[in-house]
């Protein structure tokens, strides 16, 4: 048995590979935070006699087409950045904006990644109109949003009933499975490979970016919670609401840092609505002075927002540790509980930072441990996931489960989920060739 890395340059080559039913893990831009690519062979733990294939899809030929109705059709290796540039030249833009713009969109569909603009536009799966995928025989099939999800599994009805509680979340602890397209969204390539996507776009209208300077969340939560409450009624005007805490600033270049030992909340506001939002929302905050509200250039906002997670990844690599960070989303009613938990987590004596999609009650708490501190951090996160289970939150609302999160997700999957996963794998992956170690597999 050996691990074999194979790069695909055409869909024909990919179809031939699928027809041979080789056990395989498929990847593209290597930006996933739940797959440690430098340690992937040891984590996949393949013990069968046949070779296991690591399949690189980043060289598949890209294609972009804008339809008359404004929907974008794309296939192959197209990144979020490339799609945004293509659309901007045509007066359009994407509804979804992941922090890592170099990631490929088809991979994002597979993991159901979300990002900053979900605050206004909702989750990514709601924006997919149609998609094509390759099944276990290498045949390309098409799924549409306006068609119901189909399976012979008797567990589907109970599974769908369980999901209803999470309908307002970016992603539940398990895929949606209500519409035909859901077969490929959030299933992490365990049932087939997405080859083409038709996705909604919007007019690229002017946007104003502002940031608010706040006291450190560890010391005073009142202004943060006031802002969280204030923005909820303005999701059509406020496109995103993001947090970088004071600890994040230390990972940026000195000229990029904002405030002095202060937290920063960014708002992306439609320019046409800015005056109203400034007067009705920003000036009405009782715990935030208007003197601490500033405009920022769009380019600088994106540079700062993307700079923090990249710097954290580089720092962890330098320390020789796997990233120890959260992807938790809770309901608005539980947001203060989540923040209070993070307050406690910040007191164990390990470096940390907090950032993410503040308006969605969806934050990333990252420990920055030395090797000898990692075990303590993992214990703390086990406590967090136990609490999230009790709060009926979603432990991984954006980046998927991959390899690193599987031991935590199991408690969130009851008999309805386990039965449907098993039935879908039998139906769509009878040779267990698609990511056999994934969360849907009974052997994972």
pLDDT tens string 279-302: 999 999 999 998 999 999 999 999
Residue 45 has pLDDT above 90, yes or no: no
What architecture does CATH give domain 63-203? 2-Layer Sandwich (3.30)
Q: Across all residues in the chain, what is the average pLDDT? A: 94
Residues 138-197: pLDDT tens digits? 999 999 999 999 999 999 999 999 999 999 999 999 999 999 999 999 999 999 999 999
pLDDT of residue 444: 45
3-state secondary structure the chain: CCEEEEECCCHHHHHHHHHCCCCEEEECCCCCCCCCHHHHHHHHCCCCCCCEEEEECCCCCCEEEECCCCCEEEECCCEHHHHHHHHHCCCEEECCCCCCCCCEHHHHHHHCCCCCCHHHHCCHHHCEEEEEEECCCCCEEEEECCCECCCCCCCHHHHHHHHHHHCCCCCCCCCCCCEHHHHCCCCCCCCCEEEEEEECEEECCCEEEEEEEECCCCCCCHHHHHHHHHHHHHCCCEEEEEEECCCHHHHCCHHHCCCCCCEEEEEEEEHHHHHHHHHHCHHHCCCCCHHHEEEECHHHHHHHHHHHHHHHHHHHHHHCCCCEECEEECCHHHHHHHHHHHHHHCCCCCCEEEEEEHHHCEEEEEECCCHHHHHHHHHHHHHHHHHHHHHCCECECCCCCCCCCHHHHHHHCCHHHHHHHHHHHHHHCCCCCECCCCCCCCCC
Q: Is it the case that residue 248 has pLDDT exceeding 90?
A: yes
Tell which CATH classification among 3.30.1490.110, 3.40.462.10, 3.40.50.1970, 1.10.30.50 matches the domain 207-391: 3.40.462.10
Segment 208-237, tens digit of pLDDT: 999 999 999 999 999 999 999 999 999 999
Instruction: Assess whether pLDDT exceeds 80 at residue 432.
Output: yes
- pLDDT, tens digit (0-9, with 9 covering 90-100), for 364-423: 999 999 889 999 999 999 999 999 999 999 999 998 999 999 999 999 999 999 999 999
The confidence score (pLDDT) of residue 315 equals: 78
Q: Which pLDDT does position 307 carry in this prediction?
A: 86
Sorted by where each begins, the domain ranges of the chain are: 3-56, 63-203, 207-391
pLDDT tens string 85-97: 999 999 999 999 9
């Amino acid at each position: 048995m050996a691990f074999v890395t194979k790069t695909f340059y055409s869909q024909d080559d990919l179809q031939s590979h699928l027809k041979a039913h080789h056990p395989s893990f498929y990847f593209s831009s290597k930006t996933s935070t739940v797959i440690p690519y430098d340690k992937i062979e040891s984590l996949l733990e393949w013990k069968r006699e046949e070779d296991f294939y690591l399949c690189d899809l980043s060289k598949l030929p890209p294609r972009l087409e804008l339809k008359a109705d404004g929907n974008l059709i794309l296939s192959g290796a197209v990144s979020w950045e490339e799609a945004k540039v293509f659309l901007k030249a045509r007066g359009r833009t994407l509804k979804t904006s992941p922090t890592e713009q170099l990631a490929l969109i088809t991979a994002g569909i597979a993991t159901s990644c979300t990002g900053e603009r979900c605050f206004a536009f909702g989750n990514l799966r709601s924006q997919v109109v149609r998609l094509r995928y390759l099944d276990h025989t290498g045949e390309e099939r098409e799924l549409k949003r306006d068609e119901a999800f189909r399976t012979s599994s008797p567990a589907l009805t109970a599974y769908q009933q369980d999901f209803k509680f999470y309908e307002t979340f970016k992603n539940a602890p398990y895929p949606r499975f209500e519409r035909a397209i859901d077969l490929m969204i959030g299933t992490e390539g365990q049932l087939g490979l997405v080859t083409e996507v038709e996705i909604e776009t919007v007019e690229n209208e002017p946007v104003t970016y502002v940031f608010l300077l706040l006291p450190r969340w560890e010391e005073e939560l009142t202004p943060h919670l006031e802002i969280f409450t204030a923005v909820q009624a303005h999701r059509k005007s406020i496109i995103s609401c993001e947090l970088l805490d004071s600890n994040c600033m230390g990972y940026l270049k000195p000229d990029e840092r904002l405030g002095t030992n202060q937290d920063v909340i960014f708002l992306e506001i439609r320019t046409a609505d800015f005056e109203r939002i400034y007067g009705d929302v920003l000036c009405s905050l009782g715990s935030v002075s208007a003197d601490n509200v500033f405009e920022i250039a769009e380019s600088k906002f994106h540079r700062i927002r993307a700079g923090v997670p990249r710097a954290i990844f580089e720092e962890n690599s330098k320390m020789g540790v796997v990233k120890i960070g959260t992807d938790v989303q809770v309901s608005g009613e539980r947001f203060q509980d989540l923040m209070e938990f993070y307050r406690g987590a910040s007191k164990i004596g390990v470096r940390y930072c907090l950032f993410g999609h503040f308006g969605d009650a969806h934050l990333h708490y990252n420990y920055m441990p030395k090797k000898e501190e990692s075990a303590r951090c993992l214990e703390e996160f086990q406590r967090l996931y136990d609490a999230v289970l009790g709060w009926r939150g979603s432990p991984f609302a954006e980046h998927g489960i991959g390899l690193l999160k599987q031991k935590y997700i199991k408690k969130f999957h009851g008999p309805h989920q386990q039965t449907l996963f098993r039935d879908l794998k039998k139906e769509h992956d009878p040779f267990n060739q698609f990511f056999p170690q994934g969360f849907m597999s009974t052997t994972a």
